[in-house]
Each structure stands twice: as C-alpha cells, then as structure tokens.
Amino acid sequence: MSSESKCKRLIKESFRFLLEREPNTSILRSFHITDISRYFPNTNLEIRRRLARWASTRPAVPGIMTQTSFALTPLP
C-alpha cells in the first residue's frame, strides 16, 4: 500500500471520528490532524483501531507486506 493511500485513509477515518462526535458545522475549516487529540484525548487509540481493522480486511497481495502501520505522531 502506498504512503498516499495510507494518508488518505488516515484523513478519512479522522473525519469519520470527528463527524461521529460533532456536527459538520462545528469542525474547524482548517486544522492540523494532530489537533484532534487536543479536543478528543482518545483519538489516537481509536484511529489506530480503525486503521488496523481496515488493514486487516484488505486482501493480501503476493510479495507485499500485509501488516500496515500508520504514524499518528506530530511533526516537528
């Protein structure tokens, strides 16, 4: 899986997480993805669970690693 696919999935799951907790009109127009955990402390754990669940349902491709990792650490 490409880094771009991982990033897109991370963004998608992060917005799903937010929309389950806030009306779309309450979500900031612009923010850094790591800002979510300031408002919702359990964000990282929940997003990791979702991404792991998603990765485990993807079909294995011969010659490609099946385990997918996602980093949720802030950039310097």
Dihedral angle sign, alpha carbons of residues 19, 25, 31, 35: negative
CA distance 74 to 76: 7
> pLDDT at residue 5 above 90?
no
**pTM of whole model > 0.75?**
no
Query: For 23-62, what is each residue's pLDDT tens digit?
Result: 999 999 999 988 999 999 989 999 999 888 888 877 655 5
Show the tokens assigned to 57: 């349902």
Burial class (CB in 10 A: 0-12, 13-18, 19+), 51: buried
> pLDDT at residue 17 above 80?
yes
Q: Which of 52, 38, 44 is nearest to 9 (CA)?
A: 52
* Residue type, position 62, single letter: P
